[in-house]
Amino acid sequence: MSTDTKLTAPAAWSPRGWPSERPFTTDSPETWVYTPRYSYLPGETVELHISTTASEFELEVIRDGAHPETVHRAHTLTGVRQETPADAYAVGCGWEPTHHWSIPDDAPAGFYLIIVRNHTPSGEVWEREHFIIVKHATDHRASIALILTTGTLSAYNDWGGANQYRGIGDDPRNEIGSPLSSTQRPIARGMLRKPPGVPQEFHSHTPPIDAAPRYPAYEWARLNGYSRHHADAFWATYERDFVIWAEGHGYELDYLTQIDLHEDPTALDPYDCAVVVGHDEYWSWQMRDVIDAFVERGGGFARFAGNYQWQVRLSDDSTTQYCYRLPSLDPASDTTPHLTTTVWEARSVGRPGATTVGLNGLGGTLTRYGVAAPRSSGGFTVYRPEHWAFAGTDLYYGDLLGGAPAFLAAFEVDGVEYTFRRGLPFPTFEDGAPDTLEILALCPAVKGEEDRFNGTQPLGSSDSGIQELFDALGDELPDYVRQNESRGSGMIATFTRGAGEVFNGGSTQWPHALSTGDPFVSQVVRNVLDRFTRRTGRSG
């Protein structure tokens, strides 16, 4: 948008701390790739922006999912090194397109990994990857559209030096983030592909008394040379596990990105059901409009995800995501205050997250992360077992859904303000919760980690840090947020709007729970998808 400005490039990086990945920082040959956009149709040509210091490299394209399939391979390719701006995270790499891949006319819808590979003088293999989605062919559509969380990807992708959380300055430990995030660059290592069994952003152990906080995902990444944020966003941690489960249970999916929704108000018109999974934190005003209209006219929105919190804007060409977090920093706050990039609950925005998805990220947030509710059950306590979402589960009032080893209620969760009456939870409706909202299950959550260590232990998301943000937002935050202190709840909830319906699973960990084979979690997901696609129930 014309009101946004670019950042000044940071100074050179210090080797201290945990630097983000940058190109050509070693003497070994490297190859990097990105594409100008994420979404394509069969028959289109994908331009590949490649920079390499290898004498030759390979290119492989894999349609990923339950049964990965190589659909293109090219050997002995050559290329050149292209210079990268110091602030590529904000302005993009600006590399020229050097290669291309023509998508076959009969290519099925799906998620496609684009892998570049070269060999080092020592015989090791260097690999990095990018992705595209191939959208539905015009003559065939599934009834379910999986919407990939590209907003969260843009916020956490720290390739090139920074992301929207940290990295600006000459110390990688600096917690100042970039309000600008460009799609015109490679993607941080681990967000698209990584080995099986890698730790996620919650812990499965029960800490002993006085235990220091542990962050298994960070520890693994540091030891193995992956991005600190590999488990915070996108395909390899979240969507992929859901796709494997869905394909294994006979569900056919089409693929969209949030950018597709932002650009095209009709993107969901062909579908009965729209699905979002995993870490779903960032949306634009236009994206929400598409979801609201879809549900209003009869669509089913299935959200097996958590942490619905921030409004973002996109540039006119959708290649830059803006998130200033504080209205006082956002150039748009004076001219279009409702588009200010901050929490949805801010008074200037006036569009609480719960009005679209039923829950919001400020109503819950963290559980089983570091010392944020570190010994919680890891599952949701069921309060309305008679609800259609629990059909066939044999769950009773007070039962635990998705406890160990599934850990369905872990890392980041969503909730709303609520109260109990005669043993059942009800929304208070002070935070925009729809008047038809039903709370089906609950778990405890907190806004941030309490520091009982007097600053001697690093915390992943400290309560004091969250409070600093709240203090900076000041009167922008409604009273129910400011008075809540650190307490919250994760929830599973449903509501109706117009002719449609929303199921909100309220947790980032639905894909992981499905991957463990938990039969109760699997049955709930089948119930939702079958209801929203107007199919009879499935077994198995």
Residue 80 lies in a domain: yes
Q: Decide if 239 contacts 255 (C-beta within 8 A).
A: no
Query: For 430-441, what is each residue's pLDDT tens digit?
Result: 999 999 999 999
What confidence score (pLDDT) does residue 172 get? 53
Quote the tokens at residue 21: 């990945």
User: Higher pLDDT residue, 172 or 145?
Assistant: 145
Residue type, 125: V
Residue 206 lies in a domain: no
Using CB atoms within 10 A of its CB, is residue 137 exposed (0-12), middle (13-18) or buried (19+)? middle
Quote the tokens at residue 265: 């108000």
Please compute the mean of the pLDDT values over residues 122-139 and round it to a whole number: 92
pLDDT category at 12 given cuts 50, 70, 90 is very low
Note every long-range contact of 333-338, with CB atoms under 8 Å and residues 24 or more positions apart, other chains counting: 335/3, 336/3, 338/285
What confidence score (pLDDT) does residue 25 get? 79
Range of the domain at 64: 31-136
User: Higher pLDDT residue, 417 or 482?
Assistant: 417
Looking at the chain, how many residues does it have? 540
Structural domain count, the chain: 1
Looking at residue 103, which CATH number applies to its domain? 2.60.40.1930
Please compute the mean of the pLDDT values over residues 214-226 and round it to a whole number: 94
CA angle 183, 188, 193 (to 5 degrees): 110
What confidence score (pLDDT) does residue 171 get? 60
Residue 91 lies in a domain: yes
Q: Taking 60 as the threshold, does the pLDDT of residue 445 lie above it?
A: yes
Per-residue DSSP letter, 21:
P
Q: Taking 50 as the threshold, does the pLDDT of residue 537 lie above it?
A: no
What confidence score (pLDDT) does residue 3 get? 40
Query: For 287-304, what is each residue's pLDDT tens digit?
Result: 999 999 999 999 999 999
Q: Taking 70 as the threshold, does the pLDDT of residue 115 lie above it?
A: yes
Residue 449 lies in a domain: no
293 HSE (CA, 13 A, CB side): 14
What confidence score (pLDDT) does residue 82 get? 97
Residue 355 lies in a domain: no
Residue 127 lies in a domain: yes
Residue 365 lies in a domain: no
**Averaged pLDDT score across all residues of the chain:** 93
Q: In whole angstroms, what is the distance from residue 124 CA to residue 481 CA?
A: 52
Residue 54 lies in a domain: yes
